[in-house]
Structure 1
Amino acid sequence: MAEDTNIVLKATEPVLGRIEVAPQVLEIVAGIAASNVEGVARMRGSLANSVNELFGKKERGKGVKLSLNGDALNVDVYVYLNYGVSVPKVALAIQEQVKQQLLFMTDLRISEVNVHIQGVIPEKTTSTVDPNNIFEDDESENGDDK
């Protein structure tokens, strides 16, 4: 969120005081919800997030931007997907999961959950070349030595 103001949760019952939630908390909730959807490889991060992760600090709120429009919350989620997944299905699952978790945990009205696909991460392939014998022919493996 651009401003660093807390979001006040409205209570339906008489309470002893106000309940305020920092925007970073909502970003973390949305980030965890999105990253737990099957097909999501990782969330988009910044250089600062990458440096923090090198030192062992996991940044949970990365890839999520919030904006408060009146009393409704707009959420933008930036993700990388695994290769071979259905982009529309995964994007819809992200929208639903983020909406459900934020509603369940904060009771805030969510007006939009925008999913931005930043890229596709290909599957890791294992090398078929033997590092001890890099010039070995495929024919010699089949027993067709000359």
Structure 2
Amino acid sequence: MNENPSLELEEQKSELGKVEISPEVIEVIAGIAASEVDGVATMRGNFATDVAEKLGRKNHGKGVKVDLEEEGITIDVSVVITYGVSVPDVANLIQSNVKQALQTMTAIDIQAVNVHVVGVQFETVEPNQDEL
């Protein structure tokens, strides 16, 4: 297996050379596209990404996994949604937004965008000063 996997854009080969896109770039594009959808509260990361964010380092690829396979590229997006939204509607919007962003920015054909809803976030209500 290749030590440094990257995706070579076949149609972008020219006299000047070739264009390669690393999976991390695809993760960032997909992460930003997914987080732009109304109803997505946060992207789900792991312990390391959560610690990095607390230290001030923003990880736009958080909650996104890219699989480069023979059949094509599969994107897995893990999100926490806002309470009260329609899960199927938000998931469909995530899928279309991620696919469109990747096709527009990279001209890559995506085999699948799998959405994993891993939590629900409730809106926190600030207590009114009069109620205290």
Do both share a fold (TM > 0.5)? yes
Identify the residue that residue 63 of structure 1 maps to in structure 2.
63
Identify the residue that residue 75 of structure 2 maps to in structure 1.
75
TM-score by length of 1: 0.82
Specify the code of the residue in structure 2 equivalent to 1:86: S
Q: Which runs of 4+ in 1 moved over 3 A?
A: 12-15
- Change in 2 beyond 3 A, CA 1:5/1:81: same
Query: Counting helix residues as a fraction of each chain, which structure ranks higher?
Result: 2
Specify the code of the residue in structure 2 equivalent to 1:122: F
Identify the residue that residue 95 of structure 1 maps to in structure 2.
95
Specify the code of the residue in structure 2 equivalent to 1:20: E
Matches of 1:27 and 1:13, distance apart in 2:
23
Identify the residue that residue 23 of structure 2 maps to in structure 1.
23
Identify the residue that residue 109 of structure 2 maps to in structure 1.
109
- The CA deviation at 1:13 is 6.6
TM-score by length of 2: 0.90
Please say which of residues 65-74 and 34-43 is displaced more in the overlay: 65-74
CA deviations 1:11-66 (Å, max 9, x no partner) are 16744211111110100000000000010000001111111111111111010001
Aligned-partner SS, 1:11? helix
Percent pairwise identity:
46
- Change in 2 beyond 3 A, CA 1:12/1:71: farther
Specify the code of the residue in structure 2 equivalent to 1:120: V
Which of these two proteins has the greater Rg computed from alpha carbons?
Answer: 1
CA deviations 1:90-115 (Å, max 9, x no partner) are 00000000000011111111010000
CA RMSD of aligned residues (A): 1.5
Matches of 2:31 and 2:46, distance apart in 1:
14
Specify the code of the residue in structure 2 equivalent to 1:60: H
Matches of 1:125 and 1:81, distance apart in 2:
17
Number of residue pairs matched by the alignment:
128
Identify the residue that residue 5 of structure 2 maps to in structure 1.
5
For the Cα contact (< 8 Å) 1:4–1:23, is it kept in 2?
no
For the Cα contact (< 8 Å) 1:40–1:79, is it kept in 2?
yes
Matches of 2:113 and 2:15, distance apart in 1:
30
Identify the residue that residue 46 of structure 1 maps to in structure 2.
46
